[in-house]
Amino acid sequence: MQTPTIALAQAQIDFYQQEGYLTLPAITTPAEVTWLRAIYDRLFAAQAGRAEGNQFDLAGADEEGQVATLPQILNPKKYAPELAEGLFRVNALAIARQLLGPEAQAGGEHAILKPARYGAPTPWHQDEAYWSPDLHYNSISIWIPLQEATVQGGCMQFVSKSYASEVQPHHPINNDPRIHGLEADHIPAEQIVPCPIPAGGATIHHCRTFHYAGPNLSDEPRRAYILIFALPTAMRSEKRIFPWQALQQTARMARQKEAAFSLLQKVSPNLKHTPLSGMN
């Protein structure tokens, strides 16, 4: 395990506690960015994880043969185990422990690609809107661009101090239940802060911070690698209901179910195939 090469100053920790986000000019080296970018492009070219529902279009109906405008891969290191190493990861964990405390653990990761010139916007949302309404979360996402992230190319934008609010109502993008991506019904009125950063820098946001990334109008793909860190979750005493989650019927969920079924069939070959109608 490498030694972290980064430590936040108290002023940066205070800024995060107050605003619910933070930007860093460098979380890794240019050489590591080049290495990561080669792996990243290979995984997206191969649509790694598609058959098991881990690769899909966040912003579209995700039908086979359609061009994805916001392709995403969940858990990329499953398809490129070398990603388990790296300074970016070591530094990210060190930062997470400074912001959340020593109990913070890695809690998942994903890659979101905005293709050059037609990459779709990521609408305003809170990450926690995707998660279980039954649990209490305290987590951060560390968003690392593998090229310069500009406003024109779709860098991150945050609503300052918005993490202090509860999860607000969301709906699937375009109100289309086939679409995985969520959009908040209303954007809070506080100040919006675009956060352009260099390649290998990072933005950090709390799981309830409102955020957005514009369309990619630039000539270069916008590659972002995102690491999530979290404190242990706890059951909530007060129940929440996230009705938007029940609406969704995505092709990704169908593939995920299909893959789980084939896995089960390997263990119990006599299992009969269930039709996809009972997808939810």
Binding site for Ni ion (CB under 5 A): 127
Nearer to Ni ion, 32 or 127 (CB): 127
Using Cβ positions, the residue closest to Ni ion within the complex turns out to be 127
Q: How far is the CB of 70 from Ni ion (least distance, A)?
A: 12
Region label for 162, one of left (φ > 0), alpha (ψ between -120 and 50) or beta (otherwise): alpha
226/106 Cα distance (integer angstroms) = 11
Element (H, E) at 23: strand 21-24
What are the distances in angstroms from CA 253 to CA 53, 68, 169, 172?
6, 17, 22, 14
Contact 159, 210 (CB under 8 A): yes
Of residues 89 and 170, the one with the C-beta less far from Ni ion: 170
Find the shortest distance in angstroms from Cβ 183 to Ni ion: 11
Which residue, 109 or 127, is less far from Ni ion as judged by CB? Answer: 127
Least distance in Å: CB of 184 to Ni ion? 11
Retrieve residue 243's tokens. Answer: 């009705």
Question: How far is CA 66 from its chain centroid?
Answer: 22
Q: E strands within 34-169? A: 55-57, 71-74, 105-114, 122-125, 135-136, 139-145, 156-159
Nearest approach, Cβ of 156 to Ni ion (angstroms)?
9
Of the pair 62, 127, the CB lying nearest Ni ion is at 127
- Which one, 87 or 215, has the nearer CB to Ni ion? 215
Count of residues making up the chain:
280
DSSP string, 69-80: SSEEEESGGGT-
User: Cα 246 to the chain's mean position, in Å?
Assistant: 20
Q: How far is the CB of 163 from Ni ion (least distance, A)?
A: 12
Least distance to Ni ion from the beta carbon of 127, Å? 4
Q: Judged by CB, which is closer to Ni ion: 83, or 213?
A: 213
